[in-house]
Every structure is written in structure tokens, then in C-alpha cells.
Structure 1
Amino acid sequence: MRWTELRPLQIETIHAVLDGQEDLILSAPTAGGKTEAAFLPILSQLAEDFAGGVRALYIGPLKALINDQFRRLEELCALAQIPVHRWHGDIGQAARRALFERPGGVLLITPESVESLRINYAHRLPLLLGRLEYVVIDELHAFIGTERGAHLQSLLARLMQGRAVPPRVLALSATLGDAEAARRWLSPRTPERVRVVTDASGRDVRYLIQGYLRPASVDDEPTDEDRRLVADLTRAFINRTGLIFANSRKQLELLADLAARHAEQERITNRFRIHHGSLSKAEREATEDALRSDSPATTFCSSTLELGIDVGNVQAVGQIGAPWSVSALIQRLGRSGRREGEAAELRLYVVEEEPMVDARLVDRLFPELLQAVAMTELMLQGWCEPPEADRLHLSTLVQQVLSVIAERGGATAGRVFDTLITFGAFINVDEACFVQVLRSMGAADLIEQAPEGELILGLQGERIVRSLDFYAAFVTDRELQVFHGPHRIGSVSETPGMGGDGFLILAGRRWRILEVDLERGEILVEPSRGGKLPYFAGAGGSDIHPRVREEMRRVLFDMGIPRYLDSHAAELLRRGRAAAREAGLAERAFVAVGRDTVWFPWVGSRIQRTLAGLCRFAGLEVCEDEFALTFAKVDEPAVRGALASLLQRHPSVLELAATFPVKAQAKYDSFLSEELQTRLFAHNALDLEGAIETLRQQV
């Protein structure tokens, strides 16, 4: 591996593993040597005794990441002849049989495949994992606060039960906004037993925000500003290896198509590729191989390449639009400049629309640019969002109840409660709530009670558990597979009216649809000059943290122009500040726009959602516009009067949550009673305390 010395993080971790007994969280930038820091001492411990069962379990969020780490660990383990196995949906039966015949060494796996092992190979688990000593969780930040993370927590808790000496856990993370919250997530009952090892070293950064102003349009047709953007991308990334992130797969396909057409018009080689989760495994792996090759290649990509997959020496990163979080911005910047002495480089491209004469005030402030600058400033201050370690995950609890019953063939309610709550991961679920969950599942025919008292699967529960989709605790949308001859290109979400004689853009290439077979879930295509952007489900973003909105306000009313803005972005910021001054936003939170009143509370998504709910509760018609609340045809005194009444008497958070028409957000929420859905929405989506405090300060 051509190492000449160990890094400080690696030295500290090696001592912590060999000399201590705590669980560990290793926090360091991408390419900071976290994988080696964890596995060097682990493999040293296993070198003399690695047979008789898997001794170290590596859990990663992506199959591609597992494949990449498999290659790295094989190299590490070769001299000691420690076996390395992997298990996920793309691994064949021969490799799985080999693991069961000679279990030992290291196993790399996804959470969903751990679930599959419990359901389908429960009788083999004692032999396979009975001597497990270590669990390594990669990309910890990608799990905390998500349904998938709750799923992993529960699987780990079940794995630990009944062991005299539970395996030690080492978690790796490139971004860590709150070490205490991460400790609580990793070890909910004994967070003090978790030690955090951090890498304090820094590196140089090259950073630029470029601005673009598209004319207002009603379709997807490219404008001159879109073409200028693609020309700038080509100049910045031509003959370099780079990653260009966007916030939706549709936007990635648009840019890849525009880049291909630009290269054709300029008669230059198109070195741009595309990578996202809806493309076939072959398409994705071809792109990863191109990035690792000696030839320059730049890829338009989604978060599939945000995590620590080794794609060679990435020299620069692009970001189209403001990312959803500061954490994502830090993660993406960290993909570049991985070689010693190289600076990390990121270019953030902000595309705004020219406000029309009757445009909303929010649009005249250029919100995308404000968010990009605010997130950049917070990143430079060393801040990122703390993990949401205390969310309530009842959807995942439903899935885990089904899992325990399926694994055992039946179980008493008390046994399920002990497995998942008393000794499990759902420590914020009390007995009364658990009983309500079971009753909801019974009403939905997910479970039923046998005459002898055991819980067994109901007919609907049997259908769910038998589905391949069951192993994932998160929603997976129905998609149509796209084929050119025998080759699968990728998949797109089914949309009403999709049929033959249409066009499609996928994998950065244009296709004509020959046939749509809804029964088989397939679309047959051929290359074409025409093309239409497909629909991809699940393109929404996450909640914005209050600190980001506070920083956006500071940026709007500051006087200086950040030096990392190009002239176009700087001019957009000046125009936004002028619009804010004209509206008097620096002096007041409520402004009159025509016959409407617009309120700028400058709060995070959860508080703003709660404020909107309170406004409706008070009889006001309100619309959420980015980071503002608009009251149509209502003057400011009427708005203030209604809001002031809320300070005298306001609903409880459960009463408020009940007023929201759509509360089911996670995969199995729809199987819960209305009462449980209301409790879940109140806990995870609203912040009544923060909303009331905002009313006190601003009304």
C-alpha cells in the first residue's frame, strides 16, 4: 500500500482498540484513513484465530461501497490469509455457499442483507456469527435519524442479545455535528461507553460560487443560461477527474444530455458520464471504472458517490444548486483533494430564475443563492447539523415486529416487547405505545393471535414478509426497467400516460420508446435524436435546520460580498439585498405585498411547518413560500391579532398534529392507527415549543 507512516487518527485508534474496551466513533474527513484505522488493529487481533465463524462484521449503506471496501480489505488481509466475504443482493449463490461452508474472517454486508440472514437463515446464525468480536459501521452519519438507521440499530441490538461478551462497535463518519447525539445513537443505554476519536488536521480549500439567471420559463427547454452553465462546467472539468452533484436525478439527466450536445456542437470529446441509483449496475460500474482509470473523466452524480467509494483521484467537485444540508456540502467537498498536498476544490453553481413583475418577494431575494452562501459560511465556521438521534421510528418498529415473528415462527407479545424494547433499540417506545402498535397491526391483518397466545403473521403480514421489498425498512417505489436489446440501461418511475412512441433521456443518452410492458414492468428503447426527461420518485429534500435560516438572514442584511462569489453571483446577492431593503425586511418580519401579508420568521423547516399549522388553527389561510409564510388578502393587523391570540391559548402538539391531513411519512406508517400517526407526526415533524417562542419574539 506504499504507506510510510500512520496518521495520528490511526495511531490513537489502534491504541484504543488494543488497550481499551469502549465502543468507538472515528470522525475524520473523507480519505482520512478511517477504514485502515479501524481494521488494522482488528485484523491484528484476528491474525492468529480467524476461523470458526465471522469475527468482524462490516456494515455499509451501499452495495457499491461494500464492493469497494471488499477490494481494499482483501489487500489488507492477503498476507495474513484472513478470508474476506461480502453479502448483498448482487452476490451469487456460490459466494454465499462458500461463506456458510467455511465461515470466518470478515463479512461485509448491508443492513437489508443482515435482515435477510435473520429471516432466511436463522438456524445458521449461531454458527455464522456466534464468535463475532467486532462490528464496523461505515458512514454513520448516513444512518442517524433515518428509518434505515433505526432498522440497523434494532438489528444490532438483536445481534447483541444473549451474548456474555457483546462485540465491540466501531463507527466511522466523515461529518459529525454533535458527538453526544452520535454517542446516544450508537449506545442508547450507555453512551458514556462510547469514545470519539477525531482528526483535527485541516487542508487547503479552493471554493467558488457561480451564479446564473434563467429567464422565467414554463418548460424544460434549455435557455442561454443553461448553455452557459454547461460551457462553464466543460471548461472547469475538461481533462480532469471530477464529480458534479445535483439534488435530483432529473437534473442530472438534463445536464448530462446538455453536456453531450455541447460536446457535439463544439466537436470535442464528451468526457462526462452519469451515475445515480436508477441506472443499472453495469452502467454504474462502468462509470466507477472510468473514474478510477488513468484517463480524465467527470461524472454527474447523486448521493450514490457522496459516500466513501474509492473513485480514484478526484481533483474537483461541482455542486448544482444549494445542497440540502451543510453536512452534505462538507461530505461532497471532501471527495476532492485526497492526495497529500492537494487542495480540496468545489465549485457551486446556483441557477435562479429572473423574477417576473408580479413575482413573490421570496423569489426577488434569490433564495437558492442565499442558502448556498449561508451553508458555505457555516461550513467555514466548522458547523454542521447535529444528528437527529431521538426520532420516533414506529414504521420500523412495525417491520421489526414482523421480522421477529417471522424469524421465530411466532412469539408472545412479551417476548417481542423484550426483544425490541426492553433489550432492544426502541427505547423511546413505552409499553402503552407498543400495545397500540400491535393493535394497529392486528386491525390491518399484519399479525394475529393464535389460540395458545402467540403472535403469528396474518395474511397481509405473510404477503409483506415474503416480498423482497420487506428487507428494506425504507420506501422503494415501483419502477419500470429500461432495456436496449438485452442490455438494461436503468429504471424510471411509472407515470400515468406513459406509452410507446415516446422519448426518454436516461444514462445521459437519448432514446425512443418502442414498447411499454406494464405487466412485466419493462420499457424497450432504441437510440434516438429526440428525448424527454423521465420522472424519478423521491426527489424531495430534508428539513432545513434553524441555524441555516438564521445565517441566511445574516447574509441578506450583511454589507460585504464574500470573496468566493463570481461577478454574476455577487450581482444576484446585491439585487436580493436591494429587494430586502426596499421591503424593509431588516426592520420588520411582516411586510405588505399588494393585498397580501408576508411573514419572514427565519426559522427552520419544523418550526415553520408548526407556525403554518398554528396559523390555520387560528383561522388564517396561509401558504408556505420557501422560508416565508404568505397570508393572501389579509392585512398585517389581522394577521398579528390572530397570532397574538395563540399566545393566550394554543393547541397541544397532538391537537395541532391532528389537523394536518397527511401524516404518514415512512414505509409502514399507513398501517398505524390515526392516533399513532398523529403522535408520530407531532414528535418528528413539529416543534411547538420553538414555534411559540418565535411568536413571543416576533408578534
Structure 2
Amino acid sequence: MDLPLRFADWFASRGWSPHPHQLQMLARAAEPALLLIAPTGGGKTLAGFLPTLTELAEAPQAGLHTIYVSPLKALAADIRRNLSTPIAEMALPIRVEDRTGDTSATQKKRQRADPPHILLTTPESLALLTSYEDAPRMFAGLKRVIVDEIHALSESKRGDQLFLALSRLDAVAPGLRRVGLSATVENPAALARELARHPDPCPILEADPGPEPDISMLVTEERPPWAGGGAKYAIPAVLEEVKRHRTTLIFHNTRAQAEIFFHNLWLANDEDLPIGIHHGSLDRQQREAVEAAMVAGRLRAIVCTGTLDLGIDWGDVDLIIQIGAPKNVKRLVQRIGRANHRYNAPSKAILVPANRFEIVECVAALEAARDHDLDGDPKGPGPRDVLCQHILIRACAGPFAADDLFAEVTTVGAYAGLTRAEFDDCLEFCATGGYALRAYDRWQRLKQTDGLWHLRDPRAAQRIRMNLGTIQDTDVLKVRMRGRGKPLGEIEEGFAATLTPGDTFLMGGQIVRYEGLREMTVEVSRDPGREPKVATFMGTKFATSTQLSQRILRMFRQENWPELPGHTADWLALQRDVSKLPEADRILVETFPHDGRQHLCAYGFAGRNAQATLGLLLTQRMEQRGLGALGFVATDYATLIWGLDRVTDPAPLFAPDALREDFETWLAGNAVMKRTFRASATIAGLIERNTPQARKTGRQATFSSDILYDTLSKYDPDHLLLRITREEALRGLVDFGRIEEMLRRTAGRIDHVDLERVTPLAAPLFLEPGRIPVAASGAQRLMEEEAARLMEAAGLSGG
């Protein structure tokens, strides 16, 4: 299909020619659903909007025509800036606005009464819009929904929330067309099924992928440390790369690491190069100032986290630096795409391993990226806490029939297998709170009249809307300069509780001094002179993906490693000589004495959460056998346990049935369950974080959720929320699924190597932070032995 003349002239005026996939999107604009996979810089966003722009240019209409959904508020604002250029230059009769958490209440109210032609929003804001009684009027003329970075949304509960909202839009705007846009997809067919209405997958358009990216690993004269995640050793080399390029994005896996690196980078920045920092805990104005400086070309580098993973179009970025192993190949490819945001220009990226083992992981990730071997786990059934929230949202919009809502929900791929009994369970929970809570008025939220369900009290709609969303921003406090100064961002409530006046920490790249807590706001002053503490930001600590772990284990089978630096290859060769290298179909268990303690090191390559859970289970099993376990530490690839007794036969510790049984016992009484319950209960609407009066503190929310958890466990152990909590705990914090995968993969095969000294592969674990002591009989024995030794030294033995 050819471009309409006005658009063809505009392309020509810029010296552009439309890409084939842009014309294909225009030709197939009438498809009910269409998935476009195109490389970053390939004009996929414009391809998604071309049908809308041409339709509105040729046949102007009043009201809402297209909704664009983005995972990030910053991306929605960026798209609005980019769309304004062609609209203004072609004088198109099109109004574009964004609607996110940053939009003013006045503008939101006006948008409902007089919506723009194109609305740019997020999953949360779209769900909120569907909750209003006037939603059918607002969406009546809606023709198209564009979901950008659809792969990123698909992997989370935000994606489940989005597709439930789309099922609602289908009901009020028949004939609605869906467009999905993505650059990195490991399973296009699965994503196409999710985008389409169940069960038929939608067509997939794949653009020319363009040139291969230029990816390498930074090799420095100074060797990486044995452990740690900051990569401080590499700062001089990173600074040299920044000097050699126009604009560099320096990605980190956690916000705390980004703050530390930015601080150290700034201390080494003798030439005063303009460098910024951007992450989700910073204040919105500070983030926007950094984004504006970046767009204007005033920054040479920006230290950042996942807030800049996706789609923001900064064409002057010519280098990506990933600090620390990427943990996930798909995320690495996404980040690499931020560089040279132009079609047919290769992206350039450098990986910087933070420690010695990460060299191996970085090489494995480089090979996977070059092989286009993207990682991803199969998507499970739709989470029912999100479904409960959706039912409450639907009730806010007016009366509904259960049959109609069930039919809508089951058009969503993740909920296609939902049974009517499961749906009715969720509906009953929303109506009464469930068996143990039905006597309390506060959870009597829905009632049925003449076959239709509706809110028991219409005033409840305000509270439901205030608590809408699936992102759990638990336990954070605002940070502000003392004297009602400007806001800086947020820190975790737990971290704030450890501060005493005079303590210093990093926030937005500057060292600030804690002055006190005023009305749930942390007040600080500037204090550049001292060594700071580090705020425990809630940025994600990613676990190495299953696919990347398997690739590392395959590397271990090689005779030699020419792709690794000599010192790292020698380290692995020494491990093979002294002990063994781990294998994919076996669990390697090393036992050895060190520093007056006996140690057991188990290499499961199951990811940090699963290896930590394994540490809890193994020390518990050692306790049952009278082996005096004292503590453990876990990484993505191994668990190191120390204690008083030597383990001579580790096989019984790993017996699958016994491990599962111990896991069930441990999980039932563990704080993990309460933490998971709190998150699911908040999403499902049982616990409110926000009320018309004030927002609850993290402690208040924890207190109320703990009481609820204990009450339900005692009086209604089969309550829906407890069942949901168990499912979520298995998938999330404890990641028992990865332990199950490890047990299936190894099928009871254990390589036990008993040694008299620490092995090369185990040595870094002794330097790893996050050591977890075990309150068991071993600690008691240690105290008794120490008491006996002191008594003997004092000449009091046997007295």
C-alpha cells in the first residue's frame, strides 16, 4: 500500500523513505489484531501509529480514536513529543495527550469529558478509566489500541491487568483493533496468541532485523574482584569510554548499585563531564530534568536502571555499558537497543563483569545474544488476585451479570483455562471477603439484585480506585531537604528505621545527612564530606535465567576456554584439577574444613532466590540429623553452608520427597508467606494502602495483613487468598519451581567431592555479602563449648 500523498510528501521532506514494515502495517490496518516485531530504531512506533494518523487525516472524528499503552510513564511522554512533530508539520486535525500518574487531576477530569483523538497511557491508568460509569461513552468511538513493548508487559501482572482491561474495551467498543509492538520476543507465537482474542493467534509481521550489534566485554588491566556487585575497579576504563563517545547509558541491575557507581564515577570525573543518574526511586521532577537534559544533548552519560530499558528515543546515544552480568539475555538485547536508535545503524554495547564469576556469565550472555537465543519461561495461568481486582473495577463502572463478565475474562489468553468455579470463588471473595470474613461490614462490597451484581455502597468506588494497580511500592518514605526543601526521592521504610541523626546516605548521586522524620517524610541536609551508607532501594535483584545458567554449564564441559581472559580460564582449570566443574545433569557438592568450621558447597545453578531457599532447607535437614549447621550464603549458582560437623554423605539431604515435605513445613510458618499474602491481598482489594484520609505506613499495612493472615490460617485455611498466596510464594520469593527443575534435571545424581581445603569455585562465596545465620542447635553447642573453654582457662572445669 502506498502512503497517502500528504504523508509521502512529509517523508520526502525529511529525506526518508517508509520502511516495508511501515507500509505493511498500513495495508493491514483492518486486521483485528497484529503483532509487529521490529528492531529498535526501525520506526516501529510510527508504524503502529500510521494507520491512526492516516485515518484521522482522511476522515476526522470527534472523541477517542486510539489508545497507546506503554509500560513506562516516561515512554508515553516521549511518544507524545515524537508524534507532535509530524502532526504539526502536516497540520493534521489530531489532538494527542498522555494520561499517567503524573497527569493533574484537573486534566484527567477534562479528558473523560472531552477525550483527545490519541491517548497515551499505562496499564494502571487504563484500568482506572474503565472503572468509571461513563466509560462506555468515552470509549464508544475507540478504533485501535496500540500496546508498545508488549513483551515487557506480558511477563508481569501489569500485563494481566492490561489484557483484562482490553477485554472490557472489546465489550464497549465492538470491532476494536489491537496492535502489539516489540523489539525482543523469544516466543512470537505465544505473544501473538496473547494479543489476539483467545484462542486464535494473530498475524505476525517481522521487520528486517538490521545489522548485528557490536557487543564486547570490557577487559581491564586490573582484574575484577572475587565477589561483589559494584564494579568499582572498572571506573577509570568506563570513564575513558564515556570520553570517547557522544552519549553513554550505563545500566545497573539495582538502584543501590547505580547510586554507588554514580557516586564513585563522579569522584573520578576530573574533567567535570556532565553525567546524570536516573532510577525509579528519584523524585519525578529530578527524573524529568535528567530526561530533558538527555533529549537536549547536554549529558555525556547517564547512570540508570530498568527505568530506561524501554523505547525512549534518544538518537544520540552511541554506547551502552552494562555494569554487572545482565542475568537475562532478553533484557540485555533490549538494553543494547538503546544505542544508535536508528535503523540500519549497529548498536554498540560493552559488558562490565562485577566479579570473577561474572566474567563467565558475561561471555555466556554475549554468545547467547549473538545466537539470538532469548530466554523466557512459559507463562502460567492468569493470577487470581489480579482477577479479583478486575471484578471490583468492573463493579465500580456499574451493575454486571456474572455470565457476561466470565465470558469477557475467558477471552484473555492467561485466563482462557479459568473454570466457572474458580471465577465464582473470586466473585464470592469480592462480594463478602470469604467465609471467615463475611461477618465484617468492611468486606461486604458487592450484592446481587435482579440477577445483576453491583457495589453494596457506591461510595466504595473511590476507595477501590485509590488502591488500583499491581505494582507493590511497599514501605517507602519520601526524602526531602530540611526546611520544606525540594523532594529528592524515596527510600525503604526499613532502611529509614536504621538511621539516626547524623547518618549519611546516597540519594540522587549526592551524600545527604539524616536529620529526622517529620510527618512520615525523611528530612535531610547536604553532607558531602563523609563515607555514605547506601539506601536499600527496592530495585530488582534479578536472578540468572534458566537458559543462561544452562549455557554456563555447557561452557564448563569445554576442554579450554579461549574466549575467556587468561586469569579466568586458569581459575576454571584449577577448579577442574582440584575438584570438579559442575555439570548440568548432576549436583556438585563439595565438603571441606576452613577456619575452624566444616563447609558444604552445593552448586545448583538455580538462581539466587532458589539457592537461598535451598540453603534454608538444607540447614533444616542438617539440624534434623544432628549436624550443627550455623549459617549459609547463596549466589545465583551455589549455596555455601558452614557448621560444626562434617557431612560425609550429602545424598540424603537432597532426597526430593523429603525436601518437598520440609519445604511445605517451612513455608507454612515462614515470614515469606506473610509477605506474599500482604502483596496479593493488597492487589485483590482485601487490604487498602490508600484511604481518603491518608496513606497507611508500611508497618500499619504489615500489622493489619499479619492479623488477617493469622486469622484466615486458623479459621479458614482454604480461603481463596491463602491459596493465591501459596501459588505466588512458590513462583516468587522462594522460587521453589527452580529447585524442582534442578531436582528433575539431576534426578538424584550427586557428585560429592570431599577435600581438605577451599576450592577455587567456592572461594568467592566466602566474600559474598548477605550471610544468613541459622538459629539451631549448632549455635547452642558452640556457646556451650566456648563456655567450657573459658571455664577451663579460668581453672574452673569440673567444679
TM-score (norm 2): 0.74
**2:680 and 2:721 in contact (8 A); partners too:** no
> Is 1:85 aligned with 2:97?
yes
| 2:178 corresponding residue in structure 1 | 169
Q: CA deviation at 1:397?
A: 1.7
| 1:579 corresponding residue in structure 2 | 575
What is the CA–CA distance in structure 2 between the aligned matches of 1:698 and 1:682, rounded to whole Å? Answer: 24
1:215-364 equivalent positions in 2, closer than 5 A: 226=232, 228-238=233-243, 240-263=246-269, 266=270, 268-339=271-342, 342-352=345-355
Amino acid at match of 2:389: Q
Task: Tell me the secondary structure at the aligned position of residue 351 of structure 1.
Answer: coil
| 2:212 corresponding residue in structure 1 | 203
> Is 1:501 aligned with 2:502?
yes
| 2:6 corresponding residue in structure 1 | none
| 1:512 corresponding residue in structure 2 | 513
| 1:179 corresponding residue in structure 2 | 188
Q: CA deviation at 1:73?
A: 1.3
Q: Mind listing any 5+ residue stretches in structure 2 that lack a counterpart?
A: 1-10, 593-597, 687-719, 751-799
What is the CA–CA distance in structure 1 between the aligned matches of 2:313 and 2:527, rounded to whole Å? Answer: 31
Match of residue 117, structure 1, among 129, 139, 142: 129
What is the CA–CA distance in structure 2 between the aligned matches of 1:584 and 1:425, rounded to whole Å? Answer: 43
| 1:371 corresponding residue in structure 2 | 361
What is the CA–CA distance in structure 1 between the aligned matches of 2:448 and 2:64, rounded to whole Å? Answer: 39
| 2:649 corresponding residue in structure 1 | 638
What is the CA–CA distance in structure 2 between the aligned matches of 1:497 and 1:458, rounded to whole Å? Answer: 44
Q: CA deviation at 1:176?
A: 0.2
What is the CA–CA distance in structure 2 between the aligned matches of 1:86 and 1:307, rounded to whole Å? Answer: 17
Q: CA deviation at 1:524?
A: 4.1
Q: CA deviation at 1:501?
A: 3.0
> Is 1:530 aligned with 2:530?
yes
Task: Tell me the secondary structure at the aligned position of residue 286 of structure 2.
Answer: helix
| 2:747 corresponding residue in structure 1 | 696
Alpha-carbon distance change, 554 to 450 in structure 1, aligned in 2, over 3 angstroms: closer
Amino acid at match of 1:383: D
**1:654 and 1:679 in contact (8 A); partners too:** no
Alpha-carbon distance change, 46 to 527 in structure 1, aligned in 2, over 3 angstroms: same
Alpha-carbon distance change, 406 to 609 in structure 1, aligned in 2, over 3 angstroms: farther
**1:56 and 1:106 in contact (8 A); partners too:** yes
Q: CA deviation at 1:215?
A: 6.3
Larger deviation, residues 176-185 vs 623-632: 623-632
| 1:58 corresponding residue in structure 2 | 68
Q: CA deviation at 1:562?
A: 5.5
Q: CA deviation at 1:548?
A: 1.1
Larger deviation, residues 77-86 vs 319-328: 77-86
| 1:357 corresponding residue in structure 2 | none
Q: CA deviation at 1:56?
A: 0.9
Q: For residues 400-419 of structure 1, what are the alpha-carbon distances to aligned partners after superposition, in whole Å with 9 as ceiling and x for unaligned?
A: 122122232x6565565445
> Is 1:677 aligned with 2:728?
no
Q: For residues 126-163 of structure 1, what are the alpha-carbon distances to aligned partners after superposition, in whole Å with 9 as ceiling and x for unaligned?
A: 33211111110011121112111111111111111254
CA RMSD of aligned residues (A): 3.7
> Is 1:46 aligned with 2:51?
no
Q: CA deviation at 1:85?
A: 1.9
1:336-485 equivalent positions in 2, closer than 5 A: 336-339=339-342, 342-352=345-355, 366-386=356-376, 388-408=378-398, 416-421=405-410, 426-438=415-427, 440=429, 442-443=433-434, 445-448=442-445, 450=447, 452=449, 466=463, 470-484=467-481
What is the CA–CA distance in structure 1 between the aligned matches of 2:156 and 2:568, rounded to whole Å? Answer: 36
Q: For residues 202-252 of structure 1, what are the alpha-carbon distances to aligned partners after superposition, in whole Å with 9 as ceiling and x for unaligned?
A: 23414223366566899x9x9xx72x4222221110263110011111111
Alpha-carbon distance change, 207 to 161 in structure 1, aligned in 2, over 3 angstroms: same
| 1:141 corresponding residue in structure 2 | 151
| 1:106 corresponding residue in structure 2 | 118
Alpha-carbon distance change, 247 to 469 in structure 1, aligned in 2, over 3 angstroms: farther
Q: CA deviation at 1:92?
A: 3.1
> Is 1:4 aligned with 2:16?
yes
| 1:362 corresponding residue in structure 2 | none
Amino acid at match of 1:429: L
| 1:69 corresponding residue in structure 2 | 79
Q: For residues 350-369 of structure 1, what are the alpha-carbon distances to aligned partners after superposition, in whole Å with 9 as ceiling and x for unaligned?
A: 222xxxxxxxxxxxxx4323
**2:197 and 2:413 in contact (8 A); partners too:** no
Alpha-carbon distance change, 639 to 440 in structure 1, aligned in 2, over 3 angstroms: farther
| 1:361 corresponding residue in structure 2 | none
TM-score (norm 1): 0.84
Q: CA deviation at 1:316?
A: 0.6
Match of residue 592, structure 1, among 580, 590, 614: 590
Q: CA deviation at 1:183?
A: 1.8
Amino acid at match of 1:551: R
Task: Tell me the secondary structure at the aligned position of residue 35 of structure 1.
Answer: helix
Task: Tell me the secondary structure at the aligned position of residue 317 of structure 2.
Answer: coil
Alpha-carbon distance change, 114 to 216 in structure 1, aligned in 2, over 3 angstroms: same
Q: CA deviation at 1:105?
A: 1.9
Q: CA deviation at 1:654?
A: 8.4
Q: CA deviation at 1:658?
A: 5.8
Amino acid at match of 1:373: V
Alpha-carbon distance change, 25 to 599 in structure 1, aligned in 2, over 3 angstroms: same
> Is 1:555 aligned with 2:555?
yes
**2:360 and 2:552 in contact (8 A); partners too:** yes
Amino acid at match of 1:58: Y
What is the CA–CA distance in structure 2 between the aligned matches of 1:105 and 1:45, rounded to whole Å? Answer: 11
Q: How many residues align?
A: 665
> Is 1:127 aligned with 2:137?
yes
What is the CA–CA distance in structure 1 between the aligned matches of 2:617 and 2:515, rounded to whole Å? Answer: 51
Q: CA deviation at 1:374?
A: 1.6
Larger deviation, residues 143-152 vs 69-78: 69-78
What is the CA–CA distance in structure 1 between the aligned matches of 2:106 and 2:417, rounded to whole Å? Answer: 42
Larger deviation, residues 86-95 vs 470-479: 86-95
Task: Tell me the secondary structure at the aligned position of residue 319 of structure 1.
Answer: strand
Q: CA deviation at 1:172?
A: 0.9
Q: CA deviation at 1:188?
A: 5.5
Alpha-carbon distance change, 7 to 586 in structure 1, aligned in 2, over 3 angstroms: same
Q: CA deviation at 1:173?
A: 0.9
Q: CA deviation at 1:475?
A: 0.4
Q: CA deviation at 1:497?
A: 3.4
Larger deviation, residues 296-305 vs 479-488: 479-488
**2:198 and 2:412 in contact (8 A); partners too:** no
| Greater Rg by CA | 2
Q: CA deviation at 1:464?
A: 9.5
Amino acid at match of 1:673: L
| 1:358 corresponding residue in structure 2 | none
Larger deviation, residues 178-187 vs 668-677: 668-677
Alpha-carbon distance change, 162 to 285 in structure 1, aligned in 2, over 3 angstroms: closer
